[in-house]
Structure 1
Amino acid sequence: MSGRIPVTAIVALGITQNIGYGTLYYSFSILAPDMAAHFAWSTEWIFGALSVALLIGGLTAPWLGGLFDRIGAGRVMTIGSAVAAAALLACAYAPGRTSYVAALIAIEVAANLVQYGAAFAFLVQLRPEVASRSIAYLTLIAGFASTMFWPITAVLQAQMSWQNVYVIFAALNLFICLPIHAWLSHGAAVQRKTAKIASPRVEGILPSERRRLGFLLMVAGFSLMSLSSSAVLVHMVPLLSGLGLGTTAALVGTLFGPSQVASRLINMIFGKNLAALHLALFAALLIPGGMLILLLLAPSVPGAMIFAMIFGMGNGLLSIVTGTLPLHLFGSDGYGKRQGQMMAARLILSAIAPFVLALAMAQIGIPASLAICATLSCLAIVMFGLILVMQRTGRTAVSAG
């Protein structure tokens, strides 16, 4: 029984992940111009405030990750849904810029309590022996957040103020996500109490003496991929336009989302026996590979379409391996703390990356900036390759012993 995929929990988490990412992240770019007009700020300042909020949210992530282990990820997500609802309401009713930025910071902290890092930790704590497959299924369901919430937000924005949109989104977190998280948390607690044997554990493949270095290499690899990914994603349409794609840039950009979902579906069907480290290497190849194709083939529209698909597939796999690789390398013990530490590094770099790329494009041009992004992302291949060498030398040492 314990080896079965917790389908009900995955579907329930899929609902809350779509709402969490849709209301706390994807809606912002749609509502930002109205927010800027309301506070008499430029749109650049509004996105600057988001970067500050992401940065501070990243700094809190290690502490939040420790909470997953101490009190259970389900309980943290339940609290997080209440915090998210309160933060959205505070943002909607903020009387001035300072209170608005403070509420924005609260939103990003709440996001760390309810999004992938917390959901992955919950699945590991629920059934660690099948957590890798559970995470893959969850990312497939949650891949539709942008597809759903970009148009939903746009429709709501056309009918009402951004403040009222945030009030509706607060209600979704309070009346849908919170009860689901509370139910999941209660079910997990009951399962632990009624279990007649100790909860199964997953052992990591890296020997204990190599885990510190392995963890640093893994975090560096994920951080470099996230830096390049977030920078290019934020600027995708202007970047494609600047490379000569013109009015087709926005159309090409729409291929990204379906490609993310497609890569997760392909992995779910055909990648069941593929080790998480090999999947991480594959993702690390796809992200810079897509950028290099764009550099070589632009302004070719077919070339840009290939870029969007390969880049999207790499990002889709990245979401999976950030959950499965720590489990594969280090095991289920302390998983929540490791997720928090990884989230911190990735969020901090993701916060500054769009600003740095915008500055680079203005100073040295789009092709050179894109080449730097691709080079940085290629370094992730080296990081994961070194972990693979460590794994193999560890096996050799055990065999020799």
Structure 2
Amino acid sequence: MSTERRFSPTGSLVWGLAASQLFGWATLYYAFTLFVQPMRQELGWSDTALNGALTFGLFIGDLAAIPIGRWVDRRGGHAIMTAGAALGALALVLWSGVHHLVSFYAIWGLIGLAQASSLINPAMTVVTANVTDYRRAITYVSFVTGLASSLAWPMANQLIAAFGWRPALLALAIVQIAVPLLVNAIVLRGTRGTRVDHEPMPLGSDAGRASPLRQVMRLPAFWTFALAFSIYWFVSAGTTIHMLPILRERGIAQDTAVVLVSLYGPAQVFGRMALFVLVPDFSARSTGRIMFPLWAFTLLLLLVIKPLGLSGLIIFSMLFGSTMGTLLILRQTGVVEIFGARGYGTITGALSTVSILPRTTAPWIFALMRDSFGGYDGVIAIMFVLTAIGCVAYWSATRAAQDGAAA
């Protein structure tokens, strides 16, 4: 396969990946929270037990992130992303027939593998390796993917209300086959692994003597960058699963709460579009130093905005979603900007593996904290403190990267 192959940032590869990511995230991740209540009512399982399955799936996926990233770096994403989408569809079918908690956890282990092999890290590795203007392409894919929660929550809510939760899962499996599986099988043909023409290690001078992952793991910037985004994943994973009950605790009806959380998607797209339009040649270093503090501010806002009622929660949803969406772009582009594109899949896989415990235990820890505090206000306060720590970590990572590059 030619190492000179390139795809346009506005071509079928990029928009196909965008569609695959949109529906893959909707079916394999965001829809989960809508199934907790009907499964609890039918099967008698606790919220903690149900959220534990999601935690287990995320754990399995993050464990597999490094070997999957290495595969995509070396062989491209066609085979593994197509297989991952197929595995996701199979797991949804199995979930629709589940009756035992152990089986439910095993199914979510399969979903975790499907997520790791077909969602964000391998998709962005394909973009970085095959599209000349990777930053623009990542932004476009992220535009569309930002709508996944807005697609998943109303869709799952309506399917469950109309047919029940088991047939709803079969419908999601059909969606998974019709879009992610077919798109990955068709548009990823001919793609390759990591770009070899990009500067391999802007922070080091021994690029030829060690693997890219070993090189970056020697850098303090890698660990502070990993800390910042481990906090990001902890807060985002926890709020994704718990935002509906947080809103219900504030007296918001279920249907209205679904509408509010569905604003996250358009807000993410708005934030990413504003970034691309206002700062087309944005730097992950400088932009992140603004967005991390703004993200922390939105959580403080959630604590004090209760007297404003529904209008205040709309403001929070828009600000929170837009900052989260922008930060996710900065994670993807920041890896290339700070550490180089060589071994991108393996490095992003390592970042996912480092964040295993924060990301996978977040829904469960949120539930425990809620029970301990007797409500969500204490949980939100802790999230604010953590995001403030994330601000410091990101600043440290980008400053260390600049110092290393200057040296």
TM category (shorter chain) comes to 0.7 to 0.9
Q: Mean alpha-carbon deviation: is it higher for 363-372 or for 278-287? A: 363-372
SS of the residue 1:235 aligns to? helix
Structure 1 residue 16: Cα displacement: 0.9
Residue of structure 2 aligned with 1:216, choices 200, 218, 223: 223
Aligned partner of 1:361 in structure 2 is 370
Q: Write the distance in 2 (CA, Å) between the matches of 1:381 and 1:233.
A: 21
Q: Mean alpha-carbon deviation: is it higher for 362-371 or for 98-107? A: 362-371
Structure 1 residue 6: Cα displacement: 4.3
Tell me, yes or no, if the aligned pair for 1:59 and 1:348 is still in contact at 8 Å.
no
Aligned partner of 2:97 in structure 1 is 93
Aligned partner of 2:233 in structure 1 is 226
1:291-344: per-residue Cα shift (whole Å, max 9, x none)?
A: 122334433335444332222111111221121111111111110011211223
Distance change >3 Å, CA 238–CA 177, structure 1 → 2: closer
Aligned partner of 1:18 in structure 2 is 22
Instruction: Name the aligned partner's letter for residue 232 of structure 1.
Output: T
Instruction: Name the aligned partner's letter for residue 247 of structure 1.
Output: I
Aligned partner of 2:171 in structure 1 is 168
1:169-199: per-residue Cα shift (whole Å, max 9, x none)?
A: 323333432232122332325x99xxxxx95
Q: Write the distance in 1 (CA, Å) between the matches of 2:312 and 2:165.
A: 38
Aligned partner of 1:371 in structure 2 is 381
For structure 2, the residue ranges without an aligned partner over 5 or more in a row are 207-214
Residue of structure 2 aligned with 1:74, choices 70, 73, 78: 78
Instruction: Name the aligned partner's letter for residue 275 of structure 2.
Output: N
Q: Which has the higher helix share?
A: 1
SS of the residue 2:188 aligns to? helix
1:348-372: per-residue Cα shift (whole Å, max 9, x none)?
A: 3122123223333333464443222
Q: Write the distance in 2 (CA, Å) between the matches of 1:246 and 1:165.
A: 27
Distance change >3 Å, CA 282–CA 171, structure 1 → 2: same
Aligned partner of 1:61 in structure 2 is 65
Instruction: Name the aligned partner's letter for residue 217 of structure 1.
Output: T
Q: Is 2:361 aligned against 1:352?
A: yes
Q: Write the distance in 2 (CA, Å) between the matches of 1:396 and 1:17.
A: 37
Aligned partner of 1:125 in structure 2 is 129
1:111-151: per-residue Cα shift (whole Å, max 9, x none)?
A: 11111111101101112x41111111101011112222222
Q: Write the distance in 2 (CA, Å) between the matches of 1:3 and 1:55.
A: 33
Tell me, yes or no, if the aligned pair for 2:235 and 2:362 is still in contact at 8 Å.
yes
Q: Write the distance in 1 (CA, Å) between the matches of 2:398 and 2:156.
A: 43
Structure 1 residue 393: Cα displacement: 2.5
- 5 Å-filtered alignment, 1:8-47, equals 8-47=12-51
Distance change >3 Å, CA 58–CA 47, structure 1 → 2: same
Distance change >3 Å, CA 3–CA 110, structure 1 → 2: closer
For structure 1, the residue ranges without an aligned partner over 5 or more in a row are 193-197
Tell me, yes or no, if the aligned pair for 2:30 and 2:240 is still in contact at 8 Å.
no
Structure 1 residue 216: Cα displacement: 1.2
Aligned partner of 1:195 in structure 2 is none
Structure 1 residue 203: Cα displacement: 4.3
Instruction: Name the aligned partner's letter for residue 55 of structure 1.
Output: F
Distance change >3 Å, CA 62–CA 203, structure 1 → 2: closer
Q: Tell me how many residue pairs correspond in the alignment.
A: 388
Instruction: Name the aligned partner's letter for residue 216 of structure 1.
Output: W
- Measured on the aligned residues, the alpha-carbon RMSD in Å equals 2.8
SS of the residue 2:282 aligns to? coil
Q: Is 2:293 aligned against 1:285?
A: yes
Tell me, yes or no, if the aligned pair for 1:68 and 1:336 is still in contact at 8 Å.
yes
Tell me, yes or no, if the aligned pair for 1:263 and 1:316 is still in contact at 8 Å.
yes
Q: Is 2:267 aligned against 1:259?
A: yes
Q: Write the distance in 2 (CA, Å) between the matches of 1:136 and 1:308.
A: 21
Aligned partner of 2:198 in structure 1 is 201
Q: Write the distance in 2 (CA, Å) between the matches of 1:133 and 1:204.
A: 21
Distance change >3 Å, CA 338–CA 392, structure 1 → 2: closer
Q: Write the distance in 1 (CA, Å) between the matches of 2:135 and 2:305.
A: 36
Tell me, yes or no, if the aligned pair for 1:289 and 1:310 is still in contact at 8 Å.
no
Tell me, yes or no, if the aligned pair for 1:290 and 1:306 is still in contact at 8 Å.
no
Aligned partner of 1:387 in structure 2 is 397
Distance change >3 Å, CA 289–CA 206, structure 1 → 2: farther
Instruction: Name the aligned partner's letter for residue 113 of structure 2.
Output: V
TM-score (norm 1): 0.87
Distance change >3 Å, CA 360–CA 154, structure 1 → 2: closer
Distance change >3 Å, CA 149–CA 360, structure 1 → 2: closer
Q: Write the distance in 1 (CA, Å) between the matches of 2:267 and 2:149.
A: 13
Structure 1 residue 247: Cα displacement: 2.9
Tell me, yes or no, if the aligned pair for 1:39 and 1:97 is still in contact at 8 Å.
no
Q: Write the distance in 1 (CA, Å) between the matches of 2:19 and 2:225.
A: 29
Instruction: Name the aligned partner's letter for residue 142 of structure 1.
Output: T
